[in-house]
Structure 1
């Protein structure tokens, strides 16, 4: 069978999205202390390994409901190991795999500096199996959320590239895992500062680069692809402005970390909505998301949970905003652009359902992992640095002369 233009674009988009997880590793690696960079980056890379294997074995099979199939998720055995999958579908299978990888890797930012690799790998594999694969089937695989509008006689739920499946799902899981892991030693405002602004900037750039394929990989028409592209450029640009404005108005000095975080907030918010908003409304969404997330990242200090790299404040908050915003401004069915409340109703149901399911199951998985492995590294390892003790590597190696010079 000859490759179609859509096949070629999906192949390219798969490569773009694949780059996002190493980009996330750089982004997260720059945000942690220098003595836990290897550990943090390895969490993202290990998620690629574990989830990639599980996706081929049974994740893709669970990801969709075959005609006449119903239940909690698709059967893991109908396409086990892709033995029954038409090779013409393998490009789509690969495209789904890279989404599953980064969705799982996102969660790891909540537990930086204090959790062992074995505990994380166990959590990641079970979470992908019990949470990500089923939720993906609900929203994209002809599951109950995808059919919710038809069931209720309302507009269909809109989630282009994962506002619920990825960002709300991962954000709720991150909150549950952070609560079970507990606070870092010395946790408090300003206690764990990013060690590398350049790494954060490079990571954010790779995320934005890959996000073009993330949002537009399934586009089949020039106009649709163009709209997605413009919104994937404009919303994070506005997110930067929204975040920096909040920082300035609160008396904070504007910085690159804030700008990069604002871009990520905008990218998250536009993920479910890039094909269903006019560019003007997308810009407003970016400003709102950037500003809201700039406030939200302080919640962990007020509420007393240690979400190390603000997965909740960025991905959960912006994911909810982007998903609900569609109910107000989506083409045709948005409440403020000529539609009724129907779309807002189904969007709200999907948001609440995924958030509640992911948090509850993730909390259960985290407690089980803690009972099996202890979850956290010993306090002395956390204080001295996980990288050398647990991995035998350091992010930055210096020879003895450089070390002596640095000490003096």
Structure 2
């Protein structure tokens, strides 16, 4: 992995001035649920008012991309579509009115935007944005309701999660582009677009994990392991990882997990085991699996009186919370977390700086790297549970 970082050069934009022109480039296009992505030429229009066009240098795949590709939820209604929402790149050009970003800036695209002007953006209690918040059904740009991608014949190719990063060039709203230090390694910064920020932020911003506390994490994918990393940095004394895949355990140890539980190995419910080994339950639990039964186990694994459960998993099922209202009278709480509570444009640059200083072990999350044209192989690695993040170089 070190050789990959040392040998991968991040060059500046080509000297050819493409501003204001349509760019033809390669993209991985989804034509239907479960169908292999097709690497093909696409036309990328110039950015319009308050938009930026970004040359993507690195992108990776998370389970949200996988779910959309499979067609497991309503997010994948529009076809053809360019998926992807974890990436890093360099600004190629900016549209009218963009003042905080310029050509050549290093940026991270984010699915949870920050306009800075709406009621939510002005409120420090939330990281939601009324105009550019995450919306899996959105497939066009806010500015004019049109796409910036098209096939050679001019037919539209739709957007995904405010970002669409499975392409050599993408157009995003400036509210969804975070400028970072030009010295930050873009390979690693890719992870801050979603997985690591979501997990670490849940531990730091949403739960506010305290030194010496106990934590249980249900689901040890990249987000769950990022929670563990955040809890480790905060000084949690006991970090319990719960997963049915034992191959996740060695990686978990590297990011601070102190004890593992495989539900398949137990004769009692997981929460009963956790309550027994923690003398009443953990201070914080994190549900990262997107499963209602797991959510209930996470909730019951926390200590009465003060236990906090943070919900991070995506739940496409129409079923409601498996909690009786009276159970909340025991003093336990459930909190939802979107993008780790981070206001992307104002707070993510600081997280990037912390990563540059070695606060977080980002390299632990990149388990594979492949050239962009092998994107279907990268998807298969995630399907088979063999990768946390496969980094694709464009």
Q: TM-score range by the shorter chain?
A: under 0.3
More strand by share: 2
Structure 1-normalised TM-score?
0.24
Structure 2-normalised TM-score?
0.25
More helix by share: 1
